[in-house]
A and B are shown apart, each in its own frame.
Chain A
Amino acid sequence: MLVVHNVHLDIGENLILKGISLQVGKGERIAVLGANGAGKTSLIKAIMGLLPIKSGQILFNGKKIHSLPPYEIAELGIACVPEGRRVFADMTVKDNLLMGAYLPHARNKIKETIDQVLSLFPILKERMNQRAGTLSGGEQQMLAIGRAMMSRPQLLIIDELSLGLAPVVVQEIYRVISKLSEDVSLLIVEQNVEIALNNTNFAYILEVGSVVRKGKSSDLLRDPSIKEAYLGM
């Protein structure tokens, strides 16, 4: 469904991505792991059309998307929870969710989708008329995911799902995500390697702009070198 093929990306003089390839198939849950500065966010920005790539290809359902603007990529069915959640702080929780359903195909099914999202994150129901900026970090992450789900995406990308959140909150969000329908493929960027591997089928590990390891999440989880390098065991 999503194919990233040999993507190179520079920012100024810096080579940020040096030939990255990865794939997300229908219904798959994929993790992209790596330390701070590895290039994970840049990769997501390239997929979403926020950063131009220098060479390579990005395909979604067979269509080249690497020269499209973000709003056209969104229209094709990719939703993104960017690093830092980026909820519209001055708007209510309800308006944030509605903004997620901006695209015409989503706007037609708003009632249905909002009920689904609120049943996934019931806490948001109590907060509907509150300003999003007044929510806790965990609630904002739930709102950002809910907002992305409002567009009824085929592919949901979440950058730094667990960053800055309490462990119980992270558990809760992963529990909800695991309940998402098979119709939604997932690409999750994490620094928290263990929880990511526990909740995905396949993972890519990035180091300074290149994929240095990839494999089934369950295999990586058992791999002694991974344990040593990333899990501190």
Chain B
Amino acid sequence: MVDLLLYLTNGIVMGTSYALCALGVALVVGVMRVINFAHGEFYVLAGYLSATFASALHLGIFPSIAMSILCVFFVGLVVERFLIRPTYGNEMYSLIITFILYIIVENLYLFIFGPYPQKPPNWVSGSQNLFGLFYYGNQRLVSFVTAALLISIFLVVLHKTWLGRVIRAVAIDREMASLLGVNPTRINFFSFGLGCVLAGAAGIVLTPIFPVVPTVGVGISLTAFVVVVLGGMDSFLGAVVGGLILGIVENLGVAYISSGYKHLFGFVILILVLFLKPTGLFGHRQFQ
């Protein structure tokens, strides 16, 4: 019973970060119909940068984080402008381009940062007694709260601000939005940058707990894709719920079945859900 509670807690903590990362995919897919195979590389970038800024430049933890996020946003904008924009209208090209980008960037990480795990400093130390049952790392708790807070902020921006309203409108019907005066190319540009920032934010909250190596990006991307398909491609709420479900299922599966199949559990749930509801849990549209 105590074990179950611990695994559930782990699942929720992990799942919240999955959700944060997956919101970035949902945003880019929703607005641009682009699947960014290099999504997880922005997670890795944020992890490495925040570690490097803190250790090499001796910046404090929070200035390092802020600078990393800014860099991730900027790199995302550059990628959109020079790699994605030329592929507009052809989803196959953007898929291939971002796949190539993923390969190149992964090798760049290996070349620049080396094969050994790196880790930004913890924000907090020590642990808490949770429910009077087990001790739980404070960094994990703080990472969880931060991810949850960022998700809430994102959802509020999406539903209560002009920016969010315009993003939703373009995602639903880009041609109609352009008839109302919206320049869809500009929204693409910004949304892609923001999508990368969401992956980067997940990297910021998770890499103090799980140190980053050059190859983790692709797993992060796949997890985010699974979450988005699970929740429904056109639903931001779906990405949040999907992330939590995946986090919990993975952690329970690892604990009670076998740690060798960690990624398999997600796929099994995904196939089950798609079998019962092809649009995903919260989706309306089915993507071809």
Contacts and interface: CB of A to CB of B under 8 A. Distances in A.
Nearest to B183: A71
A88 B178 contact: no
B173 A88 contact: yes
A151 interface: yes
Interface string B5-46: 000000000000000000000000000000000000000000
Given A50-B175, A82-B176, A71 B169 contact: no
Given A50-B175, A70-B175, A82-B176, A88 B169 contact: yes
Interface string A16-35: 00000000000000000000
Contacts of B165: 91, 95, 98-99
Nearest to B171: A90
Interface residues of A, number: 23
A99 B166 contact: yes
B181 A88 contact: no
Contact of B180 (A69, A74, A89, A90): A74
B168 A74 contact: no
B177 interface: yes
B21 to A, nearest CB: 23
A69 B179 contact: no
Contacts of B173: 86, 88
Contacts of A69: 178, 183
Contact of B182 (A80, A98, A102): A102
Contacts of A209: none
Contacts of A103: 180-181
A151 B172 contact: no
Contacts of B175: 50, 70, 86
A70 B168 contact: no
Contact of B181 (A75, A90, A91): A75
A99 B172 CA distance: 12
B182 A90 contact: no
A98 B179 CA distance: 14
B168 A90 contact: yes
Given A98-B165, A99-B165, A102-B166, A74 B179 contact: yes
Contact of A90 (B172, B176, B179, B184): B172
B181 A71 contact: yes
Interface string B145-176: 00000000000000000100110110011011
A102 B164 CA distance: 12
Given A71-B183, A90-B168, A99 B178 contact: no
A144 to B, nearest CB: 9
A100 B184 CA distance: 15
A147 interface: yes
A170 B165 CA distance: 30
Interface string B177-215: 111111110000000000000000000000000000000
A16 to B, nearest CB: 18
Most buried by B among A69, A79, A88: A88
Given A71-B182, A102-B181, 12 more contacts: A50-B175, A69-B183, A71-B179, A71-B183, A71-B184, A88-B168, A88-B172, A99-B169, A99-B177, A99-B180, A102-B166, A103-B181
15 contacts: A50-B179, A69-B178, A71-B181, A71-B183, A74-B178, A74-B179, A74-B181, A82-B176, A88-B173, A89-B172, A90-B284, A99-B180, A102-B162, A102-B181, A151-B181
